[in-house]
Amino acid sequence: MALLNPSLLRLLICLIPIFYVWKCLSSPLRKCPGPWSSLFTSWILKWHEFHANRTRYVHHLHVLYGPVVRIAPNEVSFASLEGIKEIYCSGGSGYDKTEFYNLFQVYGRRTMFSTLNKADHAKRKRILADRYANTNIMRPVVLDGIKERSLRFIGRCSESVGGTVDLFICLHDYAFDCITHHLFHPYGSDSLLKQGDEEIMKEVTFDESLKNRLLQYYHPELHKLIGNILHYFAKPRQTPLADNLVLGASSRTEPAQFTLLSRMQEKNYNLEQLDMAAECLDHMAAGIDTTGDALCFLMWEISQPNMIHVQQRLQEELRDNPDVEFDRLPYLDAVVLEGLRCFPAIPMSLPRYVPNGGRTIDGFFVPGGTIVSCQAYSTQRIDQNVFPNPDTFNPDRWLEERGDLDRKRLFFAFASGGRGCVGKHLALAEMKTLLRDVYTRFKTVPDETMKPEMMQMSDQLISSQPREQKCLMRLVPLQN
């Protein structure tokens, strides 16, 4: 009955905020640089997340406060080599993932990407990594599949001469066809030629579930409570066409030997069909978004009037070396690296939990259970001794011997450590093959209706797309 005493209730109501403030002020994170508000609330960060602006907001804080910045009462962002090494590479695979990655479960199953602890991830990676090894990617049967799809992309380009082509659509078609070829050929997509397959790509690419999925992560009980009406305001992720493709393909027998499905179907791994389908859909979605968006941003950038010298120099290298393999062309490599530096396929934070007992990261003690992360957009910009004029697209920086090791260490476009992007070699092969085929044949010029703000980065759940989800380009055939 004492709890019903009005005076006692008022006292408790007063003590709760006082205790919360005391807890925040006594937190070890108070010593980390950051806006004062981030010591008490995460709502400013969440506001930017819900408005597809987290990456730029976090980077803005790094510009203001340096390579270590507190962004919420229990979250710190790092943009330093020390942060990368400790969070993602210590012990081989770094710290365990947070529940944020629960959002990437497929069919209720954990994929390699959505496993939270290192042991489960290592077990699945031992099965899958073989098909993404550079030795497998460089096999003629794999490269021929990429080249075939690149030439289909060139066909689209040739048809558009005299008009415009939407690179955003065509590049995502290309990425879709390449990744499904690698996952389960001959049962993959043909979206550069077939409208029905292109609709599958659009279903995955034109996703509007960001707000719904963020609410599911931050407030799962509220999400369950209002889920039936939430879809009127924030759409859930629904991909029935992609589901049909993947579930059908993963149930087929005798996929090509080089494919991921072939590897997973080996009897000694004992993977259930739904687990194989989940991995395939996860890799498919990632392969479409990352390669498609990265190529789109890159080709837009080198098509600007002030970047025409980059196109010309790239075309010269390609013209003078027609028989040289794509991985032996230094300027092509520099253009791709600079594109991934300025427009990383996954620019956003990759959150991890600090282990029990806490850790000292880049000179700051961070308690166990704190969320820590790095984001490629910042690690590849913030240190101007390594990346002078970081907002300027300059492939030449990758051709300089001086500082080469430091640049490579801070290059985070494919993450780092044992949980880094397993598809790195496939993505690079796809990007370089297509760029070679395009710029040996065409000059690319933005359509006059395209404005820079239309190509501003808009965050998805973990990747980023052009804000308007289109990139209209004119392709001008080169003279022999």
Task: Give the dihedral sign, CA 121/122/127/132.
Answer: positive
Q: Which H helix or E strand runs over 212?
A: helix 210-218
Check whether 157 is labelled as a binding-site residue: no
Q: Which residue has the tokens 């340096």?
A: 66
Q: Which residue has the tokens 């980390």?
A: 32
Compute the distance between CA of residue 136 and CA of residue 132 in angstroms, rounded to an integer: 6
Q: What are the structure tokens assigned to 407, written together?
A: 């640049």
Q: What is the DSSP string of 417-439?
A: GGGS-TTHHHHHHHHHHHHHHHH
Compute the distance between CA of residue 318 and CA of residue 332 in angstroms, rounded to an integer: 8
User: Residue 131, SS3?
Assistant: helix
Could you tell me if 53 and 344 are in contact, meaning their C-beta atoms sit under 8 angstroms apart? no
* Alpha-carbon Rg for the chain in angstroms: 24
Compute the distance between CA of residue 415 and CA of residue 130 in angstroms, rounded to an integer: 19
Compute the distance between CA of residue 302 and CA of residue 471 in angstroms, rounded to an integer: 13
Q: Which residue has the tokens 């950051």?
A: 34
Binding-site annotation: residue ranges: 421
Binding-site annotation: residue ranges for heme: 421
